[in-house]
Chain A
Amino acid sequence: MRSVDATLPPVPGIASADVLIDRSARTRFRLGFDRAMGWLTPLLFLVAIVPILDMVYYVSLKAVPHLTWTIITGTNPYEANVYLGVPLYTTFYVIGLATAIAVALGLFGGIATAELLPEQWANAARTGANLLVGTPSIIIGYLGYLGFVLYFGWGPVFIAGVVTLSFFMTPYVFRTADLAFSSIPRHIREAALGSGAGPSQYIVRVGLPIAFPQVLTGVFLAMAIGIGETAPLVVTMQPGVLVPQNLFSPAKTLTMVIWENFQSPLAANQVLAFEAAFLLLVIVLALNVVVRVISARYQKRLEGLYQ
């Protein structure tokens, strides 16, 4: 305003240029409202932050005082409501195998969609992946239950849960692979193809090294989501007290322990549920941090490629 003051010619009948500043009640309200929103909307972050902290605090409060190394790793099947070793190892088996299947199902599809498919087919493939992400997990559980458990006659066993869970994780791997390959700068692709590489050589020699961190992010993300999934596993696996001996053994993961025990009238069972919840929370939060770190570093690297 000051610079305007300085250059304004004197106006006959007006003592100072001050009257040019709008001080009406309406303007004061507009400015005040804007400022108030600037303070109020950030307060809404409390709605997200307080529940997370409360969750972490209470789950730790109920679990940590009881938690010992023996409880985490113990596998005595006669003490299945004290030790968490069996569900913990089973969770890793389930998630490991399911991730392997999900990568096999999703990775090639994602790369093919980004690099090879004609536009219409690629859009159809992306729509399918997006819709599968939006499909409720219980419905994928029903596919496993109706298909593997009943129709194929496998019964409620380890492998039925694993394959069902991998269907659930596939679209996440698929979409990040697609996104990673689509976001490689165009000039790199053109340079590779222009210097005589075929499409498959380009994908393996050029594309994959660039896109690898983000593909890895997708795999970790799929693991973080799959490890916390309950519904597809509860309907496709019979809870067992041993680490699965083969693909057709009963199996029980950490999420199933929580689901079985959260409503129990026995205090010991509730403690077990909270211990399982605590382990699960630690694993999931760690995976989420890994995802964030990798993707932040990848972003920097990708920005470097554009120069």
Chain B
Amino acid sequence: MLSYLRYSAIAPGLIPSGIIVAIVIALVFASKLTLLHNFFGFNWNPTLSWGIGAFVAGSFLTAIPALAFSMLIGLGLAVASTTYLPRLVASLLDPFVDLLAGIPSVIYGIWGFIVIGPYFGMTINPWLADHLRLIPWFGPPSGNTLGEGLPLAIFLLTLMALPITTLLIRDSLRAVPRDLWESGLALGATRWEVLRRVALPYARRGVMSAAFLGFGRAFGETVAVAMVFGSTAVIPSNFYGTGYTLAAAMFELVDSSYGNFQFLAVLTEMALVLLAISLAVNIIGRRLVIRLSTTEVAGV
């Protein structure tokens, strides 16, 4: 009786895994893995040349800087709330970071495009272009005045990856045994030194998993990036240029693919590339983190 119940429980337990398998089957089935002309090239000119290189480049160009910023800020936030702030103050401030994960991406997009965009386009980008003109890729022209382009996309992705990196680092710092903290302090080290020499090395798996999962979030983000990255199928011409990411291109071009088998095949192959990268990143990230104390933040 018991074993019967146990085995009948396997089917519902494997539903989420089944959905992933269904995704892979659907994508492979729809694309038939046809490699069309110049698939790995950088020239996107539908019906003649199907290079997805520009999309892949756009994804990495937005996700990697965004991850770097959100790791730095997330590390600082996690350190502040676990080490320096009184428990009460930390418990009042932490929910704001978690709330960043709850805000829909389309609202990030409209806020980024209409409220923040012109500020980037008319103030920040020209200023950066003027002051960084000696660094090759960062000089003028400073892009369009709407602010669409890499800096705005990186800014939004930093905010969107921030709750994940902060939460995972915070969680792993909380898991550092109190004994270690107290012995460090008793030996005369400052809080910063204990953190730097004892706590962070102890929590390094959590910090690394934060990097991987935060990258997964930034890499797969669709709507917000589609709204602010300018939607041009080229590698950004310089730091202020517009472009496309894999996810944004899949999202915006799916209409054009209706009734065109080749177009749909290329889009589904782009989906396979995106899926492969985000699954790989997530598998690595999940193996590093042992068990989360909470699941109440979107996307973690």
Asked if A pairs with B, the answer is yes
Complex CA–CA separation, A230 to B16 (angstroms):
21
The stretch from B19-27, B33-41, B122-130 touching chain A is B19-27
**What sequence of 0s and 1s flags, for each residue 177-212 of chain B, a beta carbon within 8 Å of any chain A beta carbon?**
000000000000011110000000000000000000
The DSSP consensus for interface residues of chain B is: helix
The distance from the CB of B256 to the nearest CB of chain A, in whole angstroms, is: 12
Look across to chain A and name the residue whose beta carbon is closest to the beta carbon of B17.
A128
B295 in contact with A170 (CB, 8 Å): no
B interface, size bucket: 35 or more
For B87-115 the 0/1 string (1 means CB < 8 A from A) is: 00100010111011011111111110111
Q: Which of A164-180 contact B (CB under 8 A)?
A: 167, 170-172, 174-176, 179
Smallest Cβ-Cβ distance to A44: which chain B residue: B76
* B223 contacts across to A, CB distance below 8 A: 230-231, 259
Chain A at the B interface: SS class: helix
Using A38-B84, A139-B275 as known contacts, say yes or no to A255 and B5 having CB atoms under 8 A apart: no
Contact B295 A176 (CB under 8 A): yes
A residues in contact with B5, CB < 8 Å: 116, 199-200
Q: Chain A interface residue count: which class?
A: 35 or more
In the assembled complex, the CB of B63 is this many whole angstroms from the nearest CB of chain A, namely 11
Q: Which of B42-50, B168-176, B232-240, B247-255 contacts A (4 or more CB under 8 A)?
A: B247-255
Question: Quick one: given A136-B220, A284-B104, are A171 and B16 in contact (CB under 8 Å)?
Answer: yes
- Choose one: B93, B114, B271; the contact of A142 (CB below 8 Å): B271
**Do B80 and A42 have beta carbons less than 8 Å apart?**
yes
Asked whether A145 is an interface residue with its Cβ less than 8 Å from the other chain, the reply is yes
Q: Residues of A contacting B300 with CB < 8 Å?
A: 133
Q: Does A109 sit within 8 A of B, measured CB to CB?
A: yes
CB distance from A201 to the nearest CB of B (A): 11
Which of A69-77, A118-126, A240-248 interfaces with chain B? A118-126
- Please give, as numbers and ranges, the residues of chain B lying within 8 Å of A151 by CB-CB distance: 26, 30
Given A44-B80, A55-B111, A230 contacting B104 (CB threshold 8 A): yes
Distance in angstroms from A296 CB to nearest chain B CB is 10
CB of B300 to closest CB in A, whole Å: 7
List the B side residues contacting A224 at CB < 8 Å: 102, 298
A37 adjacent to B9 (CB under 8 Å): no
Residues on A with C-beta less than 8 A from B10 are 112, 117, 121
Contact of B107 among A105, A140, A281 (CB under 8 A): A281
Interface centre among B247, B281, B298 (most CB of A within 10 A): B298
A225 to chain B: closest residue by CB: B298
Contact status of A132 and B19, CB under 8 A, knowing A116-B5, A221-B296, A280-B104: yes
Q: Are B295 and A218 in contact (CB under 8 A)?
A: yes
Asked, given contacts A47-B73, A52-B99, A170-B15, whether A147 binds B22 with beta carbons under 8 Å apart, the answer is yes
What is the CA–CA distance of A255 and B109 in the complex, to the nearest angstrom?
11
| Interface: B134 (CB within 8 A) | no
Asked whether any CB of chain B lies closer than 8 Å to the CB of A58, the reply is yes
Query: Which residue of chain A is the closest to B299 with respect to CB atoms?
Result: A133
Report A20 CB to chain B, min CB distance, Å.
13
Please tell me if the beta carbons of B271 and A139 are within 8 angstroms of each other in the complex.
Answer: yes
B135 lies within 8 A of chain A by Cβ: no
In the bound complex, residues from chain B placing their C-beta under 8 Å from that of A274 are 110, 114
Instruction: Say yes or no: is A68 at the interface (Cβ < 8 Å to chain B).
Output: no
Contact with B along A147-170 (1 / 0, CB 8 A): 100110000000000000001001
Q: In the bound complex, how far is the Cα of B5 from the Cα of A274, in angstroms? A: 51
Q: In the complex, are the beta carbons of A112 and B9 less than 8 A apart? A: yes
Q: Is A237 an interface residue (CB 8 A)?
A: no
List CB contacts (< 8 Å) of B136-195 with chain A: 159, 162, 166, 190-193
Partner of B103, one of A47, A125, A228: A228
Q: Which residues does chain A contribute within 8 Å of B18, judged by CB atoms?
A: 128
Complex Cα gap A59–B162 (Å): 21
The residues of B that contact A213 with a CB separation of less than 8 Å are none
Within 8 A of A (CB), among B45-94: 73, 76-77, 79-80, 83-85, 89, 93
Residues of B within 8 A of A113 (CB): 9, 13
Instruction: List 28 interface pairs A-B (beta carbons < 8 Å), by A numbering.
Output: A38-B191, A40-B76, A42-B85, A45-B97, A48-B77, A48-B162, A49-B96, A55-B103, A58-B111, A59-B110, A108-B12, A113-B13, A125-B14, A128-B20, A131-B283, A131-B286, A134-B213, A134-B285, A135-B282, A138-B271, A139-B275, A142-B23, A142-B27, A151-B30, A221-B298, A228-B103, A230-B104, A280-B106
7 extra interface residue pairs, beta carbon distance < 8 Å, beyond A37-B191, A228-B106, A287-B102: A109-B13, A121-B13, A124-B14, A135-B279, A136-B278, A230-B106, A231-B247
